[in-house]
């Protein structure tokens, strides 16, 4: 089946790199107009908007901190004003910093909660009224395998992704009568800048400090398919969940993890 999103308007947070960047492009390739949000890397987001425009879709790039309600309001208002509404929201922006429990400072803890949880909540709260106006919508969060399994030295991150899975399930029930589907993609390890700290940590554990590729090789052993994830793996799942093909799918945590969660 060829999944098409012609004429739909999508908003993607965390689009300056990694999963958000790939998903924004994939949504546009499927036909959607896309509002792309960045925070500290606006050049990348502006280049992405240009690339989307070259595909013949409308696109805007907006700078926003998703943990700030005023910024989120401005972001959604810009998408509605310039692209005409919101049909699809991929609430994806997030941070990841490794730290043992004792090394998890107030700043690390608060930054994870503010960006990964409050950010997704604020985006959902602001975007859902726009979807209600359209009579339908697709809200997609980025969870994680770390939202289902505990791992060492990542307590703040694990807690935030467990919260995202909870947010997804709770909103799915509340919003079903409004024909708004709420799902999450839960990626396994996907090669993006976010994971450099993890690869460095694993390389050190494997006795090869500084050799990031050694860190990746150590991690691949946990993946039955024999490789780590690529951003395109997650982008494909996002396009499906954003489409009419997923109208009967809500409240799901879709693991995109090469079999990690069933090994």
Residues annotated catalytic, as ranges:
157
Binding segment (CB under 6 A) for ligand NAP, from list 8-16, 76-84, 167-175, 208-216: 8-16
Cβ–Cβ < 8 Å for 200, 208 = no
- Rounded CA-CA distance 155/252 in Å is 23
Question: Which member of 1, 2, 6, 40 binds ligand NAP (CB under 6 A)?
Answer: 40
Minimum Å gap between C-beta 125 and ligand NAP is: 16
Question: Which member of 9, 49, 92, 202 binds ligand NAP (CB under 6 A)?
Answer: 92
Sign, Cα dihedral of 73, 239, 260, 248: positive
Query: How many CB atoms neighbour CB 103 within 10 A?
Result: 11
Measure the CA angle with vertex 34, ends 32 and 38; round to 5°. Answer: 155
Q: Specify the 3-state DSSP secondary structure of 165.
A: helix
CA 41 to each of CA 8, 122, 202: distance values in angstroms, whole numbers, following the listed order: 26, 21, 27
Cβ–Cβ < 8 Å for 241, 138 = yes
Q: Does 67 bind ligand NAP (CB under 6 A)?
A: yes
Q: Specify the 3-state DSSP secondary structure of 141.
A: strand
Question: Which member of 189, 202, 203, 241 binds ligand NAP (CB under 6 A)?
Answer: 189
Q: Does 193 bind ligand NAP (CB under 6 A)?
A: yes
Q: Does 95 bind ligand NAP (CB under 6 A)?
A: yes
Backbone φ and ψ for 257, nearest 5 degrees, come out as -145, 20
CB nearer to ligand NAP: give 20 or 215: 20
The interface mask with ligand NAP, positions 124-163, x = CB under 6 A, is: ------------------x-x-------------------
Cβ–Cβ < 8 Å for 184, 164 = yes
Q: Does 187 bind ligand NAP (CB under 6 A)?
A: yes
Question: Which member of 9, 19, 48, 246 binds ligand NAP (CB under 6 A)?
Answer: 19
Binding segment (CB under 6 A) for ligand NAP, from list 26-34, 64-72, 165-173, 213-221: 64-72
Going through the chain in order, the beta strands assigned E by DSSP cover 9-12, 33-38, 59-63, 88-91, 137-142, 180-187, 253-256
Q: Does 115 bind ligand NAP (CB under 6 A)?
A: yes
Q: Specify the 3-state DSSP secondary structure of 152.
A: coil
Q: How many residues bind ligand NAP (CB under 6 A)?
A: 30
Minimum Å gap between C-beta 198 and ligand NAP is: 8
Q: Name the site residues for ligand NAP (rule: CB under 6 A).
A: 13-20, 38-41, 65-67, 92-96, 115, 142, 144, 187, 189-190, 192-195
């Amino acid at each position: 089946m060829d999944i098409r999103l012609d004429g739909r308007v999508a908003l993607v947070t965390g689009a300056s790199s990694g999963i958000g960047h790939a998903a924004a492009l994939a949504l546009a390739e499927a036909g959607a107009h896309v509002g792309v949000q960045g925070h500290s890397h606006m050049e990348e987001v502006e280049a992405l908007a240009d690339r989307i425009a070259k595909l013949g879709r409308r696109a805007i790039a907006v700078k926003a901190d998703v943990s700030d309600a005023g910024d989120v309001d401005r972001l959604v208002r810009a998408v509605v004003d310039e692209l005409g509404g919101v049909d699809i929201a991929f609430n994806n922006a997030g941070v990841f910093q490794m730290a043992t429990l004792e090394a998890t400072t107030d700043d690390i803890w608060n930054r994870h909660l503010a960006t990964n949880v409050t950010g997704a909540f604020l985006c959902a709260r602001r975007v859902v009224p726009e979807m209600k106006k359209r009579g339908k919508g697709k809200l997609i969060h980025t969870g994680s395998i770390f939202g289902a399994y505990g791992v060492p030295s990542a307590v703040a991150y694990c807690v935030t992704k467990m919260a995202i899975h909870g947010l997804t399930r709770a909103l799915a029930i509340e919003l079903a009568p409004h024909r708004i589907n709420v799902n999450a993609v839960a990626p396994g390890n996907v090669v993006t800048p976010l994971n450099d700290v993890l690869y460095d940590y694993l390389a050190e554990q494997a006795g090869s400090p500084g050799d990031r590729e050694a860190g990746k090789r150590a991690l691949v052993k946990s993946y039955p398919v024999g490789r780590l994830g690529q951003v395109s793996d997650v982008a494909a799942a996002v396009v499906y969940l954003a489409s009419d093909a997923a109208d009967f799918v809500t409240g799901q945590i879709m693991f995109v993890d090469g079999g990690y969660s069933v090994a």
